[in-house]
């Protein structure tokens, strides 16, 4: 039994032991990580530029304020599905858009976590804006960034723990340091997406699967292992997969390599795999039932990811449809989407996987054998998951991935980065063992130099000059907050950036329909204003006003032509009710039209 040091000799021995060295390492590592965090927040972190982050943040705030799982960001497609399902159930659809709109697009776990965060925070952290928006970030976004940095730090610790257990402590330390020194993970943390939390779930999944593997090996040949521990670990695997699915639907595809792992490696494969699948279904079924009850689809309106960015539905067209589309993409269009997005991933995604050059060591080490069966299986799990998520990302890419490259919720390959870092680092140390350094300090200096080289993107990012936090020109929290203040909370706005209105303005906002005026198809402004809910104001951001010239002659130029006609000629469509323009909003390409002078 270990006892604390008592005499001077015991203290000297303790100071010379591994426990003291590890404590010093952890203290120094924590101080370095804290210092880099503070430096990054003050020099590089910017306002949210990702629509998904704003969408989930406003959901979390609505939940925290007692509004339920309702959204201010109204997708025409989600409303149509909600209306059709209500009619099928015999419910009245009159004035349906005037009621709080349930969100049918986002899985619930991350918004619910944000709701708990907002509940604990003061009121100013929900909606307050700084006085100098160009120099400081909103407190609400700082709060979410701090929350994600917690998960990021937990991921650093879990990588160290897993790498040290599977290989050796030096592998765990360097893999964790490389993870902490990779800029792309910092950008995910500061941009408000749930990716840092999902990376923790992937590490938890790897930890559970490797421990489940051990329960099937630590028995004599021909002896059936006890059932309690494997079933408990399998149930935890199902919980992790379920939580991941309820955070990002695409995460659920990892059930395929996870179940294959169990079927291959464990003696009690059938009962263990069944337990994993049963637990997963128990976790996700209530949410799927809720979606089906409200929309008639198990995933709500998120099913559109497969057909988005095709020839039939380019950009955001499908989500902006008020009526059921007459045509859907055929198999040829899906093959074209897979070929185009897949080739883009092969050129720009896979070569910089994880945002760190250590990934090259992983790919180089694929042909090297491992003596331990669990390492071989974990590597095949990483490779199989990578291939699977490659196709999931290629087929599921939407306009969000084009709008904000790399740092978006559709970046699925990034989820396997922690395992790639661990295996890549193991090959690095394998090659290092064949090199003579003469003294251990030179070896440590070489490893430190390698970390500096591999972390150059982050180190160069935090160096001067400072990046201002305002993500101009498309998102101006001060402008959005000002124009939203002229609209009553019970009224409806329309915009090309409804996620920005929902987050910064805290007002109901519906996405622009496909057309301004349409006498036949019902896909226009008047189909909403005249028959569903009166639109009090229209806000067009630089997304429309500055991109319109590049879209001349295309179907996407409809609202761009509306902007130029209103701005240059003073012309509006016949009967258009929003005829009062707020002149101050015209600066920097913003346009705000209202039904009356509200300012």
- The reply to whether omega before 465 is within 30° of 0 (cis) is yes
Strands in 117-208 per DSSP E: none
> In this structure, what DSSP letter does residue 515 have?
B
> In this structure, what DSSP letter does residue 575 have?
T
Q: Which residue has 């200096």 as its token pair?
A: 445
- What is the distance between the alpha carbons of residues 240 and 303, in angstroms, rounded to a whole number? 22
Dihedral sign of CA atoms 233, 234, 236, 240 in order: positive
Per-residue pLDDT tens over the stretch 146-203:
999 999 999 999 999 999 999 999 999 999 999 998 989 999 998 999 999 999 999 9
Write the DSSP string, 200-269.
Answer: HHHHHHHHHHHHHHHHTTSS-TTPPPPSHHHHHHHHHHHHHHHHHHTT-GGGGGGHHHHHHHHHHH-TTH
Dihedral sign of CA atoms 365, 370, 374, 380 in order: positive
pLDDT at 467: 75
pLDDT at 5: 55
Three-state secondary structure call for residue 479: helix
Structure tokens that stand for 465 in this block: 């000059």
Question: For the chain, how many helices (H) and strands (E)?
Answer: 25, 8
pLDDT at 463: 76
C-alpha pair distances (Å), 469 with each of 42, 205, 233, 532:
9, 35, 44, 38
Q: Who contacts 302 (Cβ-Cβ below 8 Å, separation ≥6)?
A: 104, 105, 106, 107, 249
Per-residue pLDDT tens over the stretch 362-371:
988 888 888 8
Output b/e per residue, 69-85; b: 16+ Cβ within 10 A. bebbbbbbbbbbbbbeb
Three-state secondary structure call for residue 51: helix
pLDDT at 537: 95
- What is the distance between the alpha carbons of residues 454 and 174, in angstroms, rounded to a whole number? 11
Query: How big is the CA angle at 445 (ends 439 and 450), to the nearest 5 degrees?
Result: 135
For range 362-386, the mean pLDDT: 89
Closest listed residue to residue 110, CA positions, set 204, 244, 242: 244
Asked if 245 contacts 109 with a C-beta cutoff of 8 angstroms, the reply is: no
- What is the distance between the alpha carbons of residues 450 and 431, in angstroms, rounded to a whole number? 13
- Helix crossing, 169-180 with 440-454: angle to 10°? 30
pLDDT at 238: 97
Structure tokens that stand for 143 in this block: 């709060």
- What is the distance between the alpha carbons of residues 501 and 147, in angstroms, rounded to a whole number? 23
Asked if 424 contacts 360 with a C-beta cutoff of 8 angstroms, the reply is: yes
Per-residue pLDDT tens over the stretch 114-142:
999 999 988 878 877 877 777 778 889 98
3-state secondary structure 333-362: HHHHHHHHHHHHHHHHHCCCHHHCCHHHHH
Per-residue pLDDT tens over the stretch 21-75:
667 767 877 777 777 777 777 777 788 888 999 999 999 999 999 999 999 999 9
Per-residue pLDDT tens over the stretch 188-221:
998 999 999 999 999 999 999 999 888 766 655 5
**Confidence band, pLDDT 50/70/90 cuts, at residue 1:** very low
Per-residue pLDDT tens over the stretch 540-590:
988 887 765 556 555 567 888 888 888 777 788 888 999 998 876 666 678
Q: Which residue has 């229209």 as its token pair?
A: 538
- What is the distance between the alpha carbons of residues 287 and 411, in angstroms, rounded to a whole number? 23
Sheet strands side by side (includes 591-594): 73-74, 508-511, 492-495, 535-540, 591-594, 580-581
Q: Which residue has 């070569």 as its token pair?
A: 351
Closest listed residue to residue 244, CA positions, set 275, 293, 210, 287: 287
Q: Which residue has 């010093």 as its token pair?
A: 24
CB-side exposure of 120: number of CA atoms within 13 Å? 8
Helix then strand then coil, % of the chain, to nearest 5: 65, 5, 35
Per-residue pLDDT tens over the stretch 307-363:
988 888 888 888 998 988 888 888 899 999 999 999 999 988 888 788 888 998 998
- What is the distance between the alpha carbons of residues 68 and 64, in angstroms, rounded to a whole number? 8
**This model's pTM is above 0.75:** yes
Residues comprising the chain, all counted: 599
pLDDT at 57: 95
- What is the distance between the alpha carbons of residues 394 and 345, in angstroms, rounded to a whole number? 8
Per-residue pLDDT tens over the stretch 64-114:
999 999 999 999 999 999 999 999 999 999 889 999 999 999 999 999 999
**Confidence band, pLDDT 50/70/90 cuts, at residue 485:** very high
The total of other beta-carbon atoms located within 10 Å of residue 153's CB is 18
Q: Which residue blocks in 296-439 are alpha helix, DSSP H?
A: 331-344, 358-364, 373-396, 399-403, 417-432
Closest listed residue to residue 500, CA positions, set 477, 478, 522, 516: 477
């Amino acid at each position: 039994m270990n006892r604390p040091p008592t005499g001077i000799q015991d203290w000297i021995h303790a100071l010379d032991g591994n426990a003291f060295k590890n404590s010093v390492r952890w203290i120094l590592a924590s101080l370095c990580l804290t210092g880099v965090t503070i430096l990054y927040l003050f020099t590089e972190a910017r306002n949210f530029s990702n629509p998904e982050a704003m969408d989930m943040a406003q959901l979390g705030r609505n939940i925290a304020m007692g509004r339920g799982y309702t959204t201010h960001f109204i997708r025409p497609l989600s409303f149509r599905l909600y209306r059709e399902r209500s009619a099928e159930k015999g419910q009245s659809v009159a004035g349906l858009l005037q009621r709080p709109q349930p969100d049918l697009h986002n899985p619930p776990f991350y918004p619910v976590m944000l709701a708990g965060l907002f509940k604990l925070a003061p009121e100013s952290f929900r909606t307050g804006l700084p006085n100098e928006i160009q120099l400081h970030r909103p407190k609400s976004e700082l709060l979410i960034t701090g929350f994600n940095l917690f998960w990021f730090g937990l991921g650093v610790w879990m990588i160290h723990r897993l790498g040290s257990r599977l290989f050796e402590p030096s592998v765990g330390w360097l893999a964790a340091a490389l993870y902490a020194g990779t800029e792309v993970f910092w950008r995910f943390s500061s941009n408000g997406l749930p990716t840092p939390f999902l990376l923790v779930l992937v590490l938890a999944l790897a930890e559970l699967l490797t421990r489940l593997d051990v329960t099937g090996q630590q028995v004599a040949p021909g002896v059936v292992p006890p059932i309690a521990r494997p079933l408990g670990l399998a149930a935890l695997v199902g919980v992790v997969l379920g939580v991941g699915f309820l955070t990002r639907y695409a995460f659920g595809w990892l059930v395929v390599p996870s179940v294959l792992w169990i079927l291959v490696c464990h003696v009690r494969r059938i009962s263990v795999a069944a337990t994993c699948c049963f637990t997963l279904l128990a976790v996700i079924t209530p949410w799927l039932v809720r979606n089906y009850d409200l929309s008639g689809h198990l995933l709500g309106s998120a099913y559109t990811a497969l057909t988005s960015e095709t020839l039939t539905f380019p950009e955001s067209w499908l989500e902006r449809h008020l009526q059921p589309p007459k045509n859907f993409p055929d198999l040829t269009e899906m093959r074209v989407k897979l070929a185009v997005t897949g080739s883009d991933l092969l050129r720009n995604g896979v070569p910089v996987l994880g945002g760190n050059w250590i990934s090259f060591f992983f790919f180089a080490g694929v042909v090297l054998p491992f003596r331990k069966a669990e390492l071989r299986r974990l590597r095949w799990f990483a490779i199989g998951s990578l291939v699977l998520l490659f196709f999931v990302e290629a087929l599921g890419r939407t306009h969000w991935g084009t709008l904000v490259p790399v740092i978006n919720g559709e970046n699925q390959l990034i989820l396997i980065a922690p395992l790639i870092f661990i295996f890549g680092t193991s090959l690095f140390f394998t090659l290092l063992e064949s090199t003579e350094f003469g003294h251990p300090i030179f070896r440590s200096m070489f490893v430190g130099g390698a970390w500096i080289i591999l972390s150059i993107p982050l180190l160069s990012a935090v160096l001067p000059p400072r990046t201002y936090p305002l993500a101009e020109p498309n998102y101006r929290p001060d402008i959005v907050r000002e124009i939203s203040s002229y609209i009553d909370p019970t009224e409806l706005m329309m915009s090309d950036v409804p996620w920005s209105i929902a987050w910064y303005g805290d007002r109901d906002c519906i996405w622009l329909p496909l057309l301004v005026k349409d006498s036949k198809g019902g896909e226009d402004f008047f189909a909403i204003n005249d028959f569903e809910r009166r639109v009090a104001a229209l806000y067009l951001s630089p997304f429309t006003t500055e991109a319109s010239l590049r879209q001349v002659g295309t179907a996407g130029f409809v609202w761009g032509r509306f902007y130029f006609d209103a701005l240059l000629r003073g012309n509006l469509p016949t009967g258009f009710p929003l005829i009062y323009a707020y002149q101050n909003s015209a600066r920097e390409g913003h346009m705000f039209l209202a039904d009356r002078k509200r300012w």
